[in-house]
Amino acid sequence: MKQSHIEVTERIIERSRPTRKAYLQRIDDYLNREKGPDRLGCANVAHAFAAMPQNDKFKIYAEKPTHIGIVTAYNEMLSAHQPYVDYPDIIRDEARKLGATVQVAGGVPAMCDGITQGEPGMELSLFSRDTIAMSTAVALSHDVFDASLLLGVCDKIVPGLLIGALHFGHLPCVFVPAGPMSTGIDNTSKSKVREKYAQGLCDREELLASESAAYHGAGTCTFYGTANSNQMLLEAMGLHVPGAAFIHPHDGMREDLTREAVRLVIQNTKKRKIRADWPSGRRTCDCECHGGLAGNWWFNQPFDPLGSRCTCRRYYH
């Protein structure tokens, strides 16, 4: 590990010590509460589950199952997010097999720099992260959930979802990716057409054909941009099903990985009851956040037995 990385991490740890301590105390306080349906007022509970199927309502009231909240960044503008259209149904089906229940807690906005670059909308890109974080917190603020599944991929969406989810750090959370676009033309060929167009050697029709061949289907863009690097970061931080990032949206394994995310978050919810370090707020420490951002280094570190690559355990107990 580089000495500069160690020094920066140590400064972050020291600077955040008082607020980290208060944050972990809040997590402990939330963990010691009753489940939402038993804790909230009867009118609150009735509102929360009014639209659920009767069988799921009965299960929540009588069997006290793990109740999962989905926060989704689905829309049809982002190729990386379009596959999420069917994910709630897949998640709900797998959860029912495992005796759990699911609700879509809320949606968050998601914009694509590739669409807005050079346009006024591009100015909203950085601001959207805070909106996404707030939207995630608003979704989870209904406070009836035992775990969360976060459906988002692209650059401002993943940090926003994580920031919002960590406000509810007593809940185990797992990110569910949708996978990369299949290969179109290679980036070298795409760049050559762009150069030709800039030189006046081809027309707009040829340029559009080239761009459309590069960006031609569902999934993250076919280069190592912020969407794909986000997936690497999440895996480094132990917030994905391992290996989930780079399976194409329409590959048969994609659904299996989504179902595994459901199994994993339910498993982590059960572990939360017997281990103090399983809530997502404890597992995502300041060392891990900084290390995740330095992903090239982070992937050379051994896995922690608990699932992340952080081995500091500094604030877990």
CA distance 315 to 277: 9
Nearest by Cα to 130 from 153, 150, 109, 151:
109
End-to-end Cα, the chain, rounded Å = 25
Q: What is the dihedral of CA 109, 112, 117, 122, to 10 degrees?
A: 10
Structure tokens at 110: 């998601």
On the CB side of 316, CA atoms within 13 Å amount to: 18
Q: What is the pLDDT of residues 219-234, one digit of tens each?
A: 998 877 788 888 888 8
Residue type, 155: D
Against a cut of 0.85, is the pTM above it? yes
Give the rounded percent of residues in the chain with a pLDDT score beyond 90.
Answer: 58
Q: How far is 78 from 220, CA to CA, in rounded Å?
A: 8
The beta strand positions in the chain, using DSSP E, are 67-72, 101-107, 147-151, 173-175
* 3-state DSSP helix/strand/coil % of the chain, to nearest 5: 55, 5, 40
DSSP for residue 62? I
Structure tokens of 21? 């301590």
pLDDT digits 0-9 by tens, 96-117: 999 999 999 999 999 988 888 8
**103 near 135, Cβ under 8 Å?**
no
Give the number of other Cβ atoms within 10 Å of residue 135's Cβ.
20
Alpha-carbon Rg for the chain in angstroms: 21
d(CA 33, CA 79): 40
Average pLDDT, the chain: 86
- Whether the CA torsion 87, 89, 95, 97 is positive or negative: it is negative
Would the pLDDT of 277 be above 60?
Answer: no
CATH 3.40.50.300 is right for the domain spanning 3-32+65-182+224-298: no
Q: What is the pLDDT of residues 54-66, one digit of tens each?
A: 999 999 999 999 9
Q: Which of 9, 284, 246, 272 is nearest to 164 (CA)?
A: 284
Helix axes 226-236, 157-166, angle to 10 degrees: 30
Question: How far apart are the C-alpha atoms of 35 and 30, rounded to whole Å?
Answer: 10
Domain ranges of the chain: 3-32+65-182+224-298, 183-216
Q: What is the pLDDT of residue 306?
A: 39
